[in-house]
Amino acid sequence: MKDNCIAAVRINQDLCSRCGVCYSLCPFDAVDHQPFGGIVEIDMQKCQVCGICSSACPVTAIEMAYYDYDDLLDTVRSAVRKAGTETLVMMCRGNSPSNNEVKDLLSANKLGTSRYIPIRVPCAGRIPTDFIFHALRSGVENIVSIQCQDKFCRMKEGAGIETRRLMLGNAVLQQLGYPENALTVVKYSRKAVWISKECVGCGKCSFICPYDAIQVGPFSSPTVIAENCVACGACQLVCPHQAIQVQGYEFDTVLRSYGNALKAMKAKRDAPAILVLSCQWSEYSALDYPEEMLKGKNAVIMEVPCFKGMDPLHVANAFRCGFDGVMAVVCAEKDCKLPKGRDSSERQVGVLQDYLRKEGLLERFHLHEHSPRCKGEFVDVFEEFHTKIATIPFTAASAQREARDDL
């Protein structure tokens, strides 16, 4: 493990009171608490950087490398100063709605939709109760916490922990005279959606789903069982007619996103165009702050819900459209939040690599297993890949792009 992996979460031993709260709450058994007042340490091999321990520490002894309390609060205060933000929307990254979906949720709760600031965190459980009070004191009028449904929390206990915190926080707010809608909790989880008019009844979605979330009825018509669906994207990947898709990650939506990005990138003819497809659980900062992490490179990063949702067709199509390189960032097997069915993803990548090898494009594709606890590693790997692509001789992918530019 690299040294920078140790920097993502750190316990300040001078502040630690050895109370054991972090030990009792960690859903991954990553906190080593020696009995009878012994030292408390974090096992970085197990840690998933959910931040639950940090938000629960009564003496703020656990320090996070990113999405820490002070930075989040500064973001809120800055937004209020600049735009007079009315509503703060806090979202778990695992089930964060799109902008339009956020507006619909706000409207349904009779809150203004014109001025709001979205903050996405690795887990709802990262937000301590006092953050709510400080945010309201900063000028925010309403706070909406959009959390995973408890059963679908990728950090196991984060949504449930935060719900209990906010229930207590809301009770205090009511006693202090705040309006009822000052704090609202919304449970939201993405699901796969079946599009009947596109379906041919092949049944592949039901066969591949590792969570028994799709049942095939009469005439092979599938039914998505919402209470089982975790929106991993495995069904979408195998559907030959795009008849079942994950909300927010629809094939055409992703296609348009990197296609539109490529149009803008073509202006930089002296720099290679790179597409990064990243599992939302393997890399945090680059997905939420791409301009900073990609450092002005001619690149775009697209989020996928899981390794199982990384469609090889997008990789092949990216080269066909004119991208010079494609980098896929996924969780290592031990860190995968949705491990069931991972073997199918690995087989898909094997097929993709065989195809790219035949097309002479394999050296322009890189699959990287990454963890958010390895702070800074993404930048190093991306820089190395960018340098490699910039030095590869002119190829068919670049030729296709040149030909289209000349039309």
CA–CA dist 44, 98 (Å, integer): 32
User: For domain 251-406, which CATH number applies: 1.10.1060, 2.60.40, 3.30.70, 3.40.50?
Assistant: 3.40.50
State what percent of residues in the chain have pLDDT above 70: 94
Over residues 258-287, mean pLDDT = 88
95: pLDDT strictly greater than 70: yes
106: pLDDT strictly greater than 60: yes
pLDDT bucket at 107, cuts 50 / 70 / 90:
confident
Residue 53: which of 28, 87, 79 has the closest Cα?
28
Where exactly does CATH 3.30.70.20 map onto the chain? 192-246
- Prediction pTM value: 0.89
Summarised one tens digit per residue, pLDDT across range 114-127 is 788 899 999 999 99
Summarised one tens digit per residue, pLDDT across range 135-172 is 999 999 899 999 999 999 999 999 999 999 999 999 99
401: pLDDT strictly greater than 60: no
Q: Given this model, what pLDDT does residue 403 score?
A: 45
| Higher per-residue confidence, 1 vs 145 | 145
The topology under which CATH files domain 192-246 is Alpha-Beta Plaits (3.30.70)
| Higher per-residue confidence, 96 vs 137 | 137
Over residues 230-249, mean pLDDT = 93
396: pLDDT strictly greater than 50: no
CATH 3.30.70 fits 69-187, yes or no: no
Summarised one tens digit per residue, pLDDT across range 51-61 is 999 999 999 99
Summarised one tens digit per residue, pLDDT across range 29-59 is 999 988 766 889 999 889 999 999 999 999 9
CA triple 332-338-343, angle to 5 deg? 65
Q: Given this model, what pLDDT does residue 210 score?
A: 94
Q: Given this model, what pLDDT does residue 407 score?
A: 38
Where exactly does CATH 3.40.50 map onto the chain? 69-187, 251-406
